[in-house]
């Protein structure tokens, strides 16, 4: 009887150990524990499993649901409407939704339309299309930094007359930005067809207009040094011997009057040597016997003479008689006669007017920084535009146009056509040449050149 009981218990334990005895409890459930160590399924993000079914989470439950833009219980908190504000007139901010519904959002858009007086100057607008693009200071009647005009007190040019076929004069800038100016660009390139200009370095087979230069027509045409149709000593006539009537210079003549190409060169004699007919200014009768022979009225300028009274008017070395003889045709200089012809001390002194005098002149020694009339010429704009355009890479002069403008303010303006000398006009000339030969000419146009514009 005891044996039978033991067998029954052993048989029961064996039946309950079978894996087929566990039945899943999922039924209609789509999520949760199946009762057998498994799962009935998983819910998507933003849902939770309740009673075997997936239900959406709510705002503030710590889960960022598909329909939510934020949730304060997550790492993406909701910002209040006060945070959606723009201090940039060109940036519009619009707040939608709310913190309580976890759908708060701030949408920003940039203004692209050119609209007057909205405080915004979009990138594609300018002072002509949008008054908000007007520079600060423009319209105050004062010529501020980088302004070339300030209407109506300082009118802006409306046109740029041009009677020189070898220059391009363009109206740049706009009155609304107070930067309108006439920019002068010399024409240096040879052009095979007729444009009315024969640049100085062009040959007749390179530029059709150079053929029009007629030696002997009594006009010093472009490419000519003189014209044999004029009678010496008239201005522009070809000198026959380059004689300047000075005892202390050695003259040499190059070119030919037949081709209107006469060029003179002079070398001063500075050594006290007896018998050469010269008494240099630094010598006297004790160091140079020729100084005893200095006579005012002998037709030769020697010693401390500035002229000689026997040299006919119009010839080199003739003594000026009146201030009219000293007129250099430059409205930006004062013309003065000092000394007298009788003792050969007469001398013309042509001195630049004072800088910034409000005299409608830009004297050669003034700069754009100390004379408003020089600034009105906008030469610095021409200089810097060309420097940044033609002198790049290995020939770079300035890193920024601002650095160029700063350097330009200190350069004496000089005269149009300067080929040498430390002037802005000389640098502008070489920058135009740099268009065709940057390696040679960019170094002539730097702030502190070591050749050409020195």
Residue 86, pLDDT score: 82
Q: Give the angle subtended at the CA of 417 by the CAs of 416 and 422, to the nearest 5°.
A: 85
What is the model's pLDDT at position 11? 38
* pLDDT given for residue 377 in this prediction: 59
Closest CA to 279 of 233, 313, 241, 246: 246
* pTM over 0.75, yes/no: no
Distances (CA, A) of 249 to 235, 245, 316: 21, 9, 13
22: left (phi over 0), alpha (psi -120 to 50) or beta: beta
User: What pLDDT does 211 receive?
Assistant: 59
pLDDT tens sequence for the chain (454 residues): 344 433 333 333 333 444 557 888 888 888 888 888 888 988 877 677 878 888 766 787 777 777 788 887 777 888 888 888 888 888 888 999 888 888 888 888 888 889 988 888 887 887 878 888 888 888 888 888 778 898 888 888 888 887 777 888 888 888 888 888 888 888 888 877 667 787 877 776 677 677 555 788 888 775 678 899 999 988 889 999 998 888 888 888 888 888 888 888 888 888 898 888 888 878 888 899 888 888 999 999 988 899 999 999 989 999 999 999 999 888 888 999 999 999 999 999 998 888 876 777 888 888 877 887 776 657 888 898 889 888 988 999 999 988 998 899 889 988 877 888 889 989 998 898 888 888 989 999 999 998 889 8
- pLDDT value, residue 446: 94
Instruction: Using only the alpha carbons of the chain, give its radius of gyration.
Output: 45
Look at the block and give the residue holding tokens 């405080």.
119
Q: H-helix or E-strand containing 48?
A: strand 47-50
Give the integer Cα–Cα distance in Å for 223 and 201: 7
* Cα of 96 vs its chain's centroid, Å: 47
CA distance 300 to 363: 34
- Residue 448's pLDDT is 92
What's the confidence (pLDDT) of residue 436? Answer: 80
CA distances from residue 370 to 154, 172, 184, 322, 365 in whole angstroms, order as listed: 17, 23, 21, 33, 10
């Amino acid at each position: 009887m005891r044996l039978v009981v033991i067998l029954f218990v052993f048989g029961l334990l064996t039946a309950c150990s079978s894996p087929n005895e566990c039945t899943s409890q999922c039924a209609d459930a789509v999520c949760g524990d199946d009762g057998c160590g498994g799962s009935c399924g998983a819910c998507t993000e933003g849902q939770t499993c309740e009673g075997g079914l997936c239900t959406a989470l709510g705002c503030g439950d710590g889960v960022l649901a598909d329909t939510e833009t934020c949730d304060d219980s997550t790492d993406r908190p909701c910002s209040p409407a006060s945070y959606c504000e723009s201090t940039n007139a060109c940036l519009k901010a619009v707040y939608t939704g709310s913190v309580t519904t976890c759908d708060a959002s701030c949408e920003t858009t940039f203004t692209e339309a050119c609209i007057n007086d909205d405080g915004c100057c979009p990138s594609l607008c300018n002072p002509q299309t949008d008054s908000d693009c007007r520079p600060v200071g423009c319209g105050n009647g004062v010529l501020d930094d980088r302004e070339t005009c300030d209407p109506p007190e300082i009118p802006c040019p409306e046109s740029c007359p041009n009677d020189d076929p070898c220059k391009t004069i363009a109206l740049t800038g706009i009155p609304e930005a107070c930067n309108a100016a006439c920019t002068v660009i010399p024409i240096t390139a040879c052009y095979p067809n007729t444009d009315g200009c024969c640049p100085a370095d062009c040959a007749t087979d390179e530029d059709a207009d150079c053929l029009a230069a007629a030696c002997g027509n009594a006009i010093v045409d472009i490419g000519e040094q003189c014209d044999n149709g004029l009678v010496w000593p008239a201005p522009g006539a070809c000198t026959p011997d380059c004689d300047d009537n000075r005892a202390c210079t050695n003259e040499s003549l190059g070119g030919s009057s037949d081709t209107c190409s006469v060029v003179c060169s002079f070398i001063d004699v500075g050594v006290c040597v007896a018998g050469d007919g010269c008494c240099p200014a630094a010598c006297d009768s004790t160091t140079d016997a020729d100084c005893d022979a200095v006579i005012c009225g002998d037709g030769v300028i020697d010693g401390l003479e500035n002229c000689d009274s026997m040299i006919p008017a119009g010839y080199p070395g003739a003594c000026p008689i009146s201030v009219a003889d000293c007129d250099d045709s430059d409205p930006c200089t004062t013309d003065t006669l000092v000394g007298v012809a009788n003792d050969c001390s007469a001398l013309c002194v042509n001195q630049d007017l004072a800088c910034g005098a409000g005299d409608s002149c830009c004297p050669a020694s003034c700069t754009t920084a100390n004379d408003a009339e020089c600034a009105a010429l906008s030469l610095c704009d021409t200089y810097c535009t060309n420097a940044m355009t033609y002198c790049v890479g290995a020939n770079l002069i300035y890193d920024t146009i601002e650095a160029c403008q700063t350097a330009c303010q200190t350069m004496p303006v000089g005269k149009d056509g300067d080929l040498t000398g430390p002037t802005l006009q000389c640098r502008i000339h070489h920058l135009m040449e740099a268009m065709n030969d940057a390696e040679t000419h960019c170094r002539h146009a730097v702030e502190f050149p070591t050749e050409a514009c020195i």
